[in-house]
Structure 1
Amino acid sequence: MSSTTRARGKVRERREDVRRRVLRTAAEMMADGTPYTELPVQRIAERAGVARSTFYLHFPDKSRLLIALAEEAVDALFGEAVVWWRADHSGGEEDVARAMRQMIAAYREHRRVLHALGEVAGYDPDVAGFWRDRMRGFTEVVQGRLDAERRAGTVDPAMDTPTTAQVLIWTVERTISAHCHHDEGPGDDRIARTLARSIWLIIYGVAPPAPTDRR
């Protein structure tokens, strides 16, 4: 390996380290209770141990910082649901409820970032564009499954799959967001099961069969 290649590798490692420190610092400050909109760049940079100018080398503005923070949070929020949409649905409603419980847990873990994402997306076009793109991607996953089910004859042939997918995604996201803002955990299972029943009935139109006794 040439000295030039090694030097470039070290520069890249330093940049990645700085980026991680800034992201970790911002997340920690939010975890301490400071709303994202009230986090000054100078304070983030100082606590992360970097110059303000260095901060801007990695994040041109706070919108880009929030988007970087939200990447992981959004993936965690929808990850388990995507697994269910792509899986065999023979497990019925219980498998959907399990996915909903995972989404609720992920929202609670990342709720400060996700709350900031929803708030800032209301007025920042870059953040709004990121959020729309990610939601569009998850909606396409759902629509793809609904289209496959329609071709297989397992759902109503008249189903408007693009609109149904949008309704399902936004209903789940908004319900979990509102729930986690008003409930500290006791109602999680009830919400998960109610969402699961709603999703199943919207897709298949009938309640899933009762589990059989396999003894």
Structure 2
Amino acid sequence: MTLDASTDATTTAPAPPRRRFTTTDLALIAAFAALISACAYIGAIPVGSAGVPITLQTFAVMLTGCLLGPARGFAAVTLYLALGAIGLPVFAEHSSGLGAFTSISAGYLISFPFAAALGGFLVKYVAGPTRKTRAVWVFCCSITASILVIHPMGIIGMALHQDVSLWTAASWDVPFWAGDLLKTAFVAIIAAEVHRAFPKLLHP
């Protein structure tokens, strides 16, 4: 009895190895977690009736996702939240601990890893290798993640914490939009230039 060569090759070929984080990936994850911490450490400005502060956290979170992609971006932001949860003062207004996840801004905090992952996914797979170097495409990817994830989760968090309607909580979220658009513009400009200089950062 003879075996067909193509059939034999197909049945005996090993499965491709699962992708794991390399040493470089881990270094980038740690570095961007530190960047988010540094941006959050800069003085926060309370705005609106709820008093939730405007910080550079969202800038750093979305920059992380748009530069590192969905998996590494999610990991970096999750590491940042873990550092704050264990007591390092890396959250807005130098706060820390698990209490931050039950505060009025908890919805925003919890949204960060998912927003970074979505923004990174859109830049990597929607903008893709050719359009990720164009700021307008990165802007669209980043603002989409912010609109779909950060703002809705932040509004829900404020509504639950203050026991108010979603409409009232949404009105508290409005003052953040102007700053969000400005920060997203900077994310787009920086990320596009970085991808132009390092084209293999997202697409090795």
What TM-score, normalized to structure 1?
Answer: 0.38
Larger radius of gyration: 1
Higher helix share: 1
What TM-score, normalized to structure 2?
Answer: 0.39
